């Protein structure tokens, strides 16, 4: 297996329910010899997260720590069937990275088709780089249209390690993520693995995902975590 060189979905204490500082996260990424670390604090619709001024002031953060390139951003919440997210676009240009995903407490959903179209509308948002944990079962979705829309719009769909933790009780997550992997392989569409780390020790932990990649014989060439030099195809670095 190739060496993991990046993790773009992590949270610090600023998210309110995570447990490591920014510097602790960067130090751990350095110990893991990562090239890129994404810090993506929860958007304002999640209880207890940081005030929007936190995102406004991201320009104050050095983009390299301990030899690791930092990508500062947010995990935005998809709010409704129009694919709207919970942070004003005026903040986006101060970020390096914008993830968006469905969280049960924030999303006013509908039918499977309506939910799918909502995510596609978010995929088409030119500011959004990654869709977080689409396979976690937070909303019923048709995955093939999402994979095709991601390919068309140069957006990455994430396979999320934290979703697979049995303590999360994410019913259907295993089957959903396997289907996502099969569809990405079928269409030759790259994806990204996300740790969703809420503490430094979980950075780049994809231990629950390796068996899924093996089961689907998923090609390394489609896993962006192995290819930091290709990240510029999806982000403005």
Who's near 232: CB < 8 A, 6+ residues apart?
Answer: none
Domains of the chain: 6-231 (3.20.20.140)
State the pLDDT at residue 127.
97
- Digit-by-digit pLDDT tens for the chain (237 residues) are 689 999 999 999 999 999 999 999 999 999 999 999 999 999 999 999 999 999 999 999 999 999 999 999 999 999 999 999 999 999 999 999 999 999 999 999 999 999 999 999 999 999 999 999 999 999 999 999 999 999 999 999 999 999 999 888 788 999 999 999 999 999 999 999 999 999 999 999 999 999 999 999 999 999 999 999 999 999 988
Q: Specify whether the CB–CB gap between 133 and 108 falls below 8 A.
A: no
Do 232 and 97 form a contact (C-beta atoms < 8 A)?
A: no
The closest of 14, 125, 36, 146 to 78, measured between CA atoms, is: 125
Question: What pLDDT score does 161 carry?
Answer: 97
Q: Which residue has the tokens 């329910």?
A: 17
Rg (CA), the chain: 16
CB atoms within 10 A of CB 217: 9
Cross-strand bridge partners of residue 121: none
């Amino acid at each position: 297996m190739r060496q993991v060189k990046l993790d773009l979905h992590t949270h610090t204490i600023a998210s309110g329910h995570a447990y490591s500082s920014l510097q602790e996260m960067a130090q751990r990424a350095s110990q893991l010899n990562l090239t890129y670390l994404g810090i993506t604090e929860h958007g304002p619709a999640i209880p207890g997260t940081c005030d929007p001024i936190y995102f406004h002031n991201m320009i104050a953060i050095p983009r390299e720590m301990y030899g690791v390139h930092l990508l500062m951003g947010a995990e935005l919440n998809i709010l409704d069937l129009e694919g709207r997210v919970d942070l004003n676009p005026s903040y986006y240009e101060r970020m390096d990275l914008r993830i968006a995903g469905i969280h049960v407490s924030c999303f006013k959903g509908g039918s499977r088709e309506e939910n799918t179209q909502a995510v596609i509308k978010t995929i088409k948002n030119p500011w959004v780089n990654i869709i977080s944990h689409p396979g976690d079962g937070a909303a019923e979705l048709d995955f093939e249209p999402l994979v095709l829309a991601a390919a068309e719009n140069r957006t990455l769909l994430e396979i999320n390690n934290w979703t697979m933790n049995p303590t999360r009780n994410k019913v259907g997550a295993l089957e959903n993520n396997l289907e996502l992997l099969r569809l990405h392989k079928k269409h030759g569409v790259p994806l990204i693995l996300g740790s969703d780390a809420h503490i430094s020790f979980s950075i780049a932990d994809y231990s629950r995902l390796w068996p899924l990649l093996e089961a689907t014989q998923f090609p390394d060439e489609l896993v962006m975590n192995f290819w930091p030099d290709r990240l510029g195809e999806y982000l403005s670095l």
